[in-house]
Amino acid sequence: MGILSFVTAICILNLHSLAILANDYPKKSSLETYIVHVEAPDGQSFTQSVDLDIWYQSFLSTATSSSGEGPEIVYSYHFAFKGFAARLSPDDVKALEKKEGFISAHPEEKYSLHTTHSPNFLMILLNTIHHFV
């Protein structure tokens, strides 16, 4: 009987340890990264990037999701087009669509490298320093 009690106690402790680890493991985020394209109001020009960043921030809601995460700007575009990359939930995207100046929001697409020969093709020697005059 002593061994059976010992094995049972070990099993219970192991299950308890697994439950503790499961609670400590980070939950999968409900937020995804979106590229958001916006347009400035008529007659509005932004002379400083800080003004542009503040305007971008105004598009995001202050609400947080059930996991405690809120929308967050990851990157602000200042030159190529007016827009930003942000971590958003589907509800955040729906709220953005209703705001004046919103053009589009697309989920981030990740691409993998399809070549390993580009340095050779471009005649780049790795681990060397080139000085062009």
CATH number of the domain within which 91 lies = 3.30.70
Question: Per-residue confidence at 106, pLDDT binned at 50, 70, 90?
Answer: very high
User: Could you tell me if residue 69 is inside a domain?
Assistant: yes
Residue 111 CB neighbour total at 10 angstroms: 5
Please check whether residue 54 lies inside any domain of the structure: yes
**Measured torsion, CA atoms of residues 46, 51, 52, 55, in degrees rounded to the nearest 10:** -110
Q: Tens digits of per-residue pLDDT, 59-95? A: 887 655 555 678 899 999 988 889 999 999 998 899 9
**Domain span at 74:** 32-107
| Tens-place pLDDT, residues 13-56 | 454 444 444 444 445 568 999 999 999 877 777 777 888 888 88
Q: How many domains does the chain have?
A: 1
Yes or no: say if 75 and 84 are a contact pair by the CB < 8 Å rule.
yes
Dist. CA 63–CA 70, nearest whole Å:
6
Write the single-letter amino acid at 77: Y
